[in-house]
Amino acid sequence: MKPYELTLRESRDFAAAEGFDALRSSLLERIETLNPKLNALVRFKREDWTGSPRLASPAGGELAGVPIAIKDNICVKGLETACASKILKGHVPPYDAAVIEKLKGAGAVVFGQCNMDEFAFGSSCETSAFGPVRNPWDLERVPGGSSGGSAAAVAAGLVPAALGSDTGGSIRQPAAFCGVVGLKPTYGRVSRYGLIAFGSSFDQIGPITKNVEDAALLMKFLAGHDARDSTSAPEEVPDYTKSLRRDVKGLRIGLPEEYFGAGLDPEVEKSVREAADVYRRLGAEIKTIKLPHTPYAVAVYYIVAVAEASSNLGRFDGVRFGSRIAADSLKEMYEKTREEGFGAEAKRRILLGTFVLSAGYYDAYYRQGQKVRTLIRQDFQKAWESVDVLLSPTAPTPAFKIGEKLSDPLAMYLSDIMTIPANLAGVPALSLPCGFTRSGLPLGLQLMGRPFDEETLIRAAYTLEQEIGITGRKPPL
C-alpha cells in the first residue's frame, strides 16, 4: 500500500516506523500531481512544507508525525488564514486555534490548508476566491461545501485526515459527496476559539477522515472544555476509540419520515433504507418517527444564521484585518474594501442578515426564527424519548455538476435540507458512506444523536461500516 493510501492510524504507524520525511515526501508528490486538478489545498508550495522547523518530526505524542490539513477558516499561527476571501488576504494569525494547539500537543503536523466556500457561505465550494474545488470522483462535479476542500483532499489521498467546520452541514454534506466520514460534534463539545466565525450559535469544528476509527481517534484530541470559548461545554470527554465495537443489538433507530419525502433521489433513498435493513438484521429496532417542524428548518436557518453572519463580518472593514483599498475618506475606504473584498454570496448573506435584524423587521423575522428554532429543538428532545439515534440521508441527491445551482441560491440552500436541523438543535451528527450510484458517485447516510452522545453515533457508524465494507474505496484518479 502506498503511503498516501494510508488511514490516519496507519499513517501514524508508518511515520513511527519509516519516519515522517518518507510520509511527507509521498504526500507531496501526490499533492503536486493531483491538487492542480482538484484545487483542494490553497497556497500550497513544496518549499513551504519541506525543511521547515514547524514540520520537524515530533518527539512524541499519540499522533506523532501525522499530517493533517486544516480548513482555511481555522487560525494557525504564522500561516495566512483567509476564509477563501479576498478581504482577508494577508491575514496571518498571531496565535493557534484551540484545536490546533491540541493537535500539535498530540504530535500531529499541520500540513496544508483546505479550500472552502468564502467564509463558509456555500454548499458546493464554488464561492471561493481561489476558484472552485472539484470532486475527485468526477472532476465535473462539486465536492460539497463549505468544507469541500477538506473532503476532497482526504478522498483523493492528499492527506490522511482534515479538519472542517459545520454550520449547516458543511462537514457532513461534503463527506457524503466525496465518500468519506464527517463528524459534526455537539455544539459546545469542541472549542471554537480560533475559528473565524460564520454563525456563532451554530459553528462546530470536526474531523473529516477515511473511516470511523480515524474520526474517533481525532475526536479524542479535539473535544474538551476551553475557558477561552464561552460556549464551550464543561463536559467530560470519553475515549471515543472505546466505542469502536460492532454492537447495535437493542439500539433504537428512528427514521424521520420528513427526510424521506419529495425531492429525495431514488438511489439515495434505496441506499439509506438498505442500511436500515442491515441495522435491523443486526438486532437494532427500526421505527418511523416524526420531526414535524423539519419543513421550516431551511427558512429558519437562513434567517438566524445570516443574522449572525452579518454581525460577525462587520469586523472586516479594511482597518484591523486583511486587505485595505486606498481611498480619500474613511467611508470610501470601507465601501471600496468591502465591495472588492467580499464575493457575491458573502454580500448576499450580509444584506439578508442586516435586513432581518433591522428596525421594523427584527420581530417579524429574527425573533420568529428563534421561536421556530426552539420548536425544532423540542422535536429532537421528544424524539429521544423513543429512539437513541436518528437515521436519514445526508443530502437529498448525489454530488451535482459544477455551475448547476450557482445561479439559483434557493436550490443551493435546499441541498442542506437534511443537515441543517442538527445544527439548529445543536445535536451531534455523522455522515457515513453507504453506497454508490449506478454511475459510481458516492452516497452518504446521516446518523444524529443525543447531545454529547457522540459515542453512540461512533458505535452505530462503526458497526455499519464494518458490515457493509465500502469505506475506503478510492476515486478513479
- Please name every residue paired with 445 in a beta bridge, in sequence order, or none if there are none: 393, 432
Q: What distances in angstroms separate CA 420 from CA 50, 305, 306, one per listed residue?
A: 40, 10, 13
The residue annotated as part of the active site, out of 71, 104, 220, 405, is: 71
User: In the sheet where 41-42 sits, what is the strand order?
Assistant: 41-42, 109-114, 67-71, 161-166, 204-209, 181-184, 429-436, 442-449, 389-393, 252-256, 285-289
Q: Choose, from 11, 124, 128, 146, the residue flagged as catalytic.
A: 146
Rounded Cα distance, 434 and 469, in Å: 9
Q: Cell numbers at residue 38, please?
A: 482538484
Q: Any catalytic annotation for residue 146?
A: yes
Closest C-alpha to 31, from 19, 18, 49: 49
DSSP 8-state code for residue 258 = G
Is 431 noted as a catalytic residue in this protein? no
Which grid cell sits at 204? Answer: 462546530
Per-residue burial over 1-24, b = 16 or more CB atoms within 10 Å of its CB, e = otherwise:
eebbebbbbbbbebbeeeebeebb
Cell numbers placing 94: 498571531
For this structure, is 71 an active site residue?
Answer: yes
Q: Which of 11, 128, 150, 170 is catalytic?
A: 170
Whole-Å CA distances, 468 to 228, 311, 357: 42, 45, 48
Active-site positions read 71, 146, 170
